[in-house]
Copies of this chain bind each other. A is one copy, B any other.
Amino acid sequence: MEYRYSERMAKMNGAATREILKLLTRPEIISFAGGFPATQCLPQKEVQEIAHELLSEGKATAVLQYGTTEGFVPFREELIKYVKTAGIENVSLDETLVISGGQQGIDLMSKIFLDKGDVVLVENPTYLTALQIFDSYQAKIVGVDADENGLKLDDLEEKIKKHHPKFIYVVSTFSNPTGKTYSIENRKQIAEITAKYGVMVLEDDPYSKLRFEGEWVPSIKSFDKAGNVVYLTSFSKVLSPGLRTGVAVGNKEVIRKLTIGKQGVDVTTSNLSQLIVAEYLKRGYLFPNIEKSLPIYRERKNAMIAAIQKYMPEEFSFINAQGGLFIWGGFDAPIDTTKLAPEAIKYDVAYIQGQVFYPNADVTNMIRLNFSNATVEKIDLGMSHLGEMFKKEIAKAKKA
């Protein structure tokens, strides 16, 4: 049997991160590769308690029977309150859609807007799975330059004029992979410029609650006057990735289209997951648990920075994130981090090569290091191995 796959499959290989995760079967490997929240921050007790109540006699039908694609109304009411913490006010029910994680939001947004050959703008670099999703819709992905304040606005405007993109995708707070946060002024300008040219913004915000330094900033969505921003957030990093829940907030016409898109994809998000998260929010468990988690993340981030300074070659520089899960850095030396990723596994360490985060894949000297799911001791040990490897490689390169 010769399988006649669709054209879109030609560009779709396994997600680099998920493929590397599968390699991590040896328990001695220290992984800086994934984007897992700290396991000890997952609220086992509270979820157990809530699930038990939801599944009790007389209540369980809501969990076990079919629900609506839009999601449970009491959950969406909690979500409307929740997104106020991102500065998003006056959201009505029909401006919300429950999704099975932020990633589904990216997929549905692509589904409703992208035809083959349409352009999507992204920060360069950006979340690799978003790139893969845009590829699966055979879109043309164009990177926009960024600096420490966020997107370079002249580059953004120039590329909007040149490419007439359907939308721009950004992780505006603790960006994946760079850990950067756009300034408030930058956010306002992004909202204005895109509105002026009739370009949608897909603002993906999985990380903003994991801020352990610096000042809170409102979302780009909070500056949306034209109805051109769709805001995504998920509970994967602040509650549990295994439950697969998130929300899309946008203009009600767009939300309606996203809902129609979701009908054909998975009918509804798991009722049990929806109702667990709804109740978790309602009982006020979320923010106290985040407060308890932040010192752990902060400690691990600091351990990662200290280990970088202790073990990594002087040719390595990095961005010191104020939150989120990642440290992004690169070598001022002829080091190919893509080629070395399998070599690092021999040193019992996993990282993600920077190349996969670029739409044009021509940058080979960068790496993304996750600090959230390893202990301080493991971070030190893993970075000492990684430092040893990179120092050897740089010495080799200098000899050659």
CA distance A43 to B57 in the complex (A): 10
**Which B residues lie within 8 Å of A34 (CB)?**
66
The reply on A261 being an interface residue by CB < 8 A is yes
Of the 9-residue stretches A168-176, A236-244, A351-359, A388-396, which lies at the interface with chain B?
Answer: A236-244
Q: Which of B13, B111, B118, B244 contacts A267 (CB 8 A)?
A: B244
Contacting residues, chain B, for A15 (C-beta < 8 A):
260, 263-264
Chain A: residues with Cβ within 8 Å of the partner, total of 89
Q: CB within 8 Å of B: which of A250-272? A: 251, 253-254, 257, 259-261, 263-272
Measured between C-beta atoms, what is the minimum distance from A125 to chain B in Å?
Answer: 18
Which B residues are in CB contact (< 8 Å) with A243?
A: 64, 270-272
Complex: A13 Cα to B259 Cα, angstroms: 10
Q: Which of B42, B68, B266 contacts A100 (CB 8 A)?
A: B266
Q: What is the total number of copies of this protein in its complex?
A: 2
Chain B minimum-CB-distance residue to A58:
B44
**Interfacial chain B residues near A259, Cβ < 8 Å:** 14
What 4 A-B pairs come out closest when comparing CB atoms? A242-B271, A48-B55, A44-B60, A64-B240
> Which of chain B's residues have a CB closer than 8 A to the CB of A226?
1
Is the pair B263, A132 in contact by a Cβ cutoff of 8 Å?
A: yes
Most buried by B among A4, A253, A257: A4
Q: Is the CB of B18 within 8 A of A263?
A: yes
